[in-house]
Amino acid sequence: MVTASLTKVGNSAAAFIPSVLRKKASANVGDAYDMDSPREGVIVIRFKKPYTHSKLETWLRAQANIQALKSSLPAWQQDTTADDLIQAGKEARSHEILSA
């Protein structure tokens, strides 16, 4: 935590953000930000970062990741329940432990 004090600038007060915190927040001079005071004694500053991808691009990447995962998983066997799979996993793990 960094301790600082408010500085009078004209009719306003300014809080200078140390470079260590600016770097941690990826904030640069001139960046836009939102400020709020959710309760007494607390001021939250949130720097606005431009989206690097559109929502569609993000959705398409997520869909591609899901398809890649699906292709690496074994096919779901008919008449197999989640409990059956859990039990099989437990048995496989106990066999690994006992054979080590």
The pLDDT of 22-45, averaged and rounded, is 90
pLDDT tens sequence across 53-77: 788 888 899 999 999 888 888 777 7
* Strands 12-14, 42-47: pairing kind: unpaired
* Strands 33-39, 12-14: pairing kind: unpaired
Assigned token pair, 95: 């066999």
Report the chain's terminal Cα–Cα distance, integer Å: 48
Q: pLDDT band for 51, please (50, 70, 90 cuts).
A: low
The architecture of the domain spanning 7-47 is: Ribbon (2.10)
Q: Where are the domains of the chain?
A: 7-47, 55-99
Determine the number of helices (DSSP H) and then strands (DSSP E) in the chain: 3, 4
pLDDT tens sequence across 27-36: 888 888 999 9
pLDDT score of 92 more than 70: yes
Residues 6+ away with beta carbon under 8 Å from 11: none
pTM above 0.85, yes or no: no
Q: pLDDT band for 52, please (50, 70, 90 cuts).
A: low
Question: pLDDT averaged over the chain?
Answer: 88
